[in-house]
Amino acid sequence: MNGERKQLDSVSTVEHVVERIRTSKRIVVITGAGISVSCGIPDFRSANGIYNTVDCHALNIPSAELLFDLSFFKIDPQPFYKFSRAFYANRALQPSPTHLFIRDMESRKKLLRNYTQNVDGIEQIAGIRSLVECHGNMHTFRCAKCKKKGDSESVIRRLLEDGSVPQCACLGSLKPDIVFFGEVFPSSLERSMQRDLARVDLVLVIGTSLRVGGSVLEFLRRLPDAVPRVLINKEALSGSSKTYSAGFDVTLLGPCDAIVRILTHRLDWPDPSKCLDRIGHLRALRERVYEVCEAEEESRVSVSVAAPADVGERRTRHAPKKRRIESM
Ligand code: CNA
């Protein structure tokens, strides 16, 4: 992100954000694991996230980060599959209100692209079409050795039956088509970013710590200064990504489903939960989501514009040069 960029005075309040969403026609939404937390999928770095809760001892790994490390997977794919079995066993994945908000933007012809770092495939379930899955998808498989495609249905069935590591005919291990740490991003990502950087008129970044280098950070770094950018996240950016805070014109802090609900209300768009009904999702899920959000709505949503503590760091230029995925 360009640390020397001056924040836009014209985009500094929630009302400005609402107005920009109302008038923009080529919005890029960058999403991360936070938007799937209310779907029951933990993120990486929150207190309840994978890195803090995984039982490394039971999986026989020295650290949780190694679960998604290519070199480690090539040596021993068993921990990855042991860990991800629960994900594959969940056949009832449903979009969150935030996924549905993005889909609603698309149906209103406002969405240029959703760049997601998520690998759960829920954007596709929600019906978002202008989608780039920057880190791939858990639902298709390829041999880590000969690269031949595996048959997803039988791989998942066998994995659930006996927990064994799926193998290719060449005896290599099948690996889901997600970009592990140490892997290179697909070249189609760069082509898409180049096209979109020349057209985008608003950027919404939702539910990400911005700590995974490469793909979406690269997009933000190359974004023209005039394009407004808004961060919606449960917590303020911290650690190595704290310096990016001042790069956003507006930051909305709180659970993204609650914030999206406020935005849609002010936009006079239907509540995203109504979209859940429209595509036949569970009423129970909707109630669970909003029970949490309603309680937190007023107290947790705050707007931070150029917090003084961040301003000093605004000059720091962060330019991740590597095209490999890396954890920071
Ligand atoms: P991360 O580093 O775990 O950060 C998640 C961010 O989301 C944190 O800043 C949280 O504060 C925030 N957050 C958590 N809950 C909410 C909420 N309800 N509303 C708003 N914000 C919330 O994950 P990133 O996405 O930044 O990192 C990218 C990694 C995570 C990619 O490589 C993914 O493949 C990987 N990942 C994906 C999934 C998934 O597909 N659902 C799950 C876990 C990890």
What is the amino acid identity at position 169? A
Considering the candidates 99, 135, 281, 318, report the single residue annotated as catalytic.
135
Ligand 1: centre distance to CA 221 (Å): 20
Quote the pLDDT of residue 1. 67
Per-residue HEC secondary structure of 78-136 comes to HHHHHHHHHHHHCCCCCCCHHHHHHHHHHHCCCEEEEEECCCCCHHHHHCCCCEEECCE
Q: Give pLDDT, residue 69.
A: 93
Ligand 1 centroid, distance to 39 Cα (angstroms):
12
State yes or no: pLDDT of 313 exceeds 70: no
Question: Atom 5 in ligand 1: which residue has the minimum CA distance?
Answer: 208
217, pLDDT greater than 80: yes
Percent of the chain at pLDDT exceeding 90: 66
* Interval between CA 118 and ligand 1 midpoint (Å): 8
327 sits in the region (left: phi over 0; alpha: psi -120 to 50; else beta) called: beta
Residue whose CA lies nearest to ligand 1 atom number 31: 117
- To the query of whether residue 99 is one of the catalytic residues in this protein, the response is no
Residues with CB under 6 A from ligand 1: 32-34, 36-38, 41, 43-46, 49-50, 117-120, 135, 207-209, 211-212, 233-235, 255-256
The predicted structure's pLDDT at residue 280: 42
